[in-house]
Amino acid sequence: MKLPVFAFAFLSLGASAADSPDVEKQVERAVGQSLQGDAAAAVRTLSAVPASRVTGENAELRSCTLQRFGAKSVAEAPASIGDAWIDSIAGAYLSYWPRALTHPKQLAAAEQALRGRIGTALGHPLSTDADFDGAETELDRRATERGFHVLLGRTPPLRELMLWRKTTIDDRVVALPDGPETVRVNLLDDFVMRGWAYYVTCGQRSAGGWSTDTALFAVVPSYRSITDETFNVRFVAHEGQHFADKRVFRNLEPWELEYRAKLAEFALADESQGSTRQLICENREDSKDASPHGYANTQVVRVLSSRLGSDAGTFCDSPTLPGQPLRDAAKAALLEDTARRRAGRLPQ
């Protein structure tokens, strides 16, 4: 199974900290830098925040980030999974991720080293990135033979790895702004590895799932419940919008898929509106190539703040939530985007 580069919904896993607004802003900035593949920048940002000023999950994130990626970091030995071959694959990625995240400009060298280790595990060399892509089917097959499911491919900018043991199938109907959509949800559980976003944020952020042309895949331990609003909006609605868009609009860019899915989230979010806003505001990017998720977030903030008669700063930093006006603005923006695409005024 190869990872669609646009498919992930990212989640916050901890409770909100009670730190001052300026500290919260610095922590959010660091999280955004980490999710864009630059742990070195996150270390610089968090190092500027005194340890005495952070509490709770923010303190845990700061301490872990500095220890894992700072100047005095020590290579972590991966825990044994109980299968020597799976251990070798996991160890290769746990060597690749910190090197690539700490030295983003050396990504090519880090990936060359990863190819070498994976090639050794497979018993034949992988000389190029294309060779690696071609070997993913073999990696998937060998993992399956050992009782594991595997997710590979790339979550820009890094190569991805998730490993889990259990999958359960559940069919659901989601009420999207464009109309109801029936989706098949694969509930994934008993994880060994949760991907590089989970690793770089020390478990404070996680990929909540992804979609393909035929189904949705949910990372069950990323959610407190698989029946509450957070799951139904942030995962089922988000990925269900991807599912519908990939069927109706064949040529959307990754950032466009993310933009539409995040509008769908805001159109439906009630009690989860605040945490949805936090996740979108903390990970913004001006380049669609560098980070499709971050660029989509920038566009969502720009469009919705304009519709609400404010600016990006007010939209992201206001202590109060817009509530129904935000839901209405997001729904209208998504339906107008759909109408323009159907009328041929935007690429499909």
pLDDT (tens digit, 9 = 90+) per residue, 176-209? 999 999 999 999 999 999 999 999 999 988 888 8
Nearest to 232 by CA among 281, 192, 173: 173
The SS3 assignment for 12 reads strand
Res. 17 pLDDT band, cuts 50 70 90: low
Q: What is the pLDDT of residue 5?
A: 37
User: Considering the entire predicted model, what is its pTM?
Assistant: 0.77
Q: What is the mean pLDDT of the chain?
A: 91
State the DSSP string of 236-250: IIHHHHHHHHHHH-T
Alpha-carbon distance of 246 to 239, in angstroms, equals: 10
The SS3 assignment for 332 reads helix
CB 233 within 8 Å of CB 272: yes
Q: What is the pLDDT of residue 10?
A: 56
The 10s digit of each residue's pLDDT in 306-329 is 999 999 999 999 999 999 999 999
The 10s digit of each residue's pLDDT in 41-99 is 999 999 999 999 999 999 999 999 999 999 887 777 778 888 999 999 999 999 999 99
Alpha-carbon distance of 86 to 129, in angstroms, equals: 21
What is the Cα gyration radius of the chain? 20
Asked if the peptide bond before residue 254 counts as cis, ω within 30 degrees of 0, the response is: no
Nearest to 236 by CA among 204, 206, 209: 209
- Whether 8 has a pLDDT exceeding 60, the answer reads no
Q: Which two tokens stand for residue 158?
A: 């890094």
The SS3 assignment for 25 reads helix
Alpha-carbon distance of 265 to 208, in angstroms, equals: 14
Q: What is the pLDDT of residue 7?
A: 40
Alpha-carbon distance of 324 to 164, in angstroms, equals: 39
Nearest to 93 by CA among 25, 192, 235: 192
CB 207 within 8 Å of CB 9: yes
Q: Which two tokens stand for residue 164?
A: 């889990």
Q: What is the pLDDT of residue 210?
A: 86
Res. 333 pLDDT band, cuts 50 70 90: very high
Alpha-carbon distance of 137 to 124, in angstroms, equals: 14
- Whether 2 has a pLDDT exceeding 70, the answer reads no
The 10s digit of each residue's pLDDT in 141-164 is 999 999 999 999 998 899 999 999
Q: What is the pLDDT of residue 12?
A: 55
Residue 4 has φ and ψ, to the nearest 5°, of -65, 130
Looking at residue 160, its amino acid is E
Q: What does each C-alpha distance from 289 to 28, 201, 254, 255, 332 come to in angstroms?
A: 22, 22, 9, 9, 27
Q: Residues of 206-241 as b/e, b for ≥16 C-beta within 10 angstroms? A: bbbbbbbeeebbbbbebbeebeeebbbbbbbbbbbb
The 10s digit of each residue's pLDDT in 241-278 is 998 999 899 889 999 999 999 999 999 999 999 999 99
The SS3 assignment for 11 reads strand
Q: What is the pLDDT of residue 300?
A: 98
Of 13-17, 115-119, 202-206, give the range with the top mean pLDDT.
115-119
Q: What is the pLDDT of residue 345?
A: 76
Cβ count within 10 A of residue 269: 23
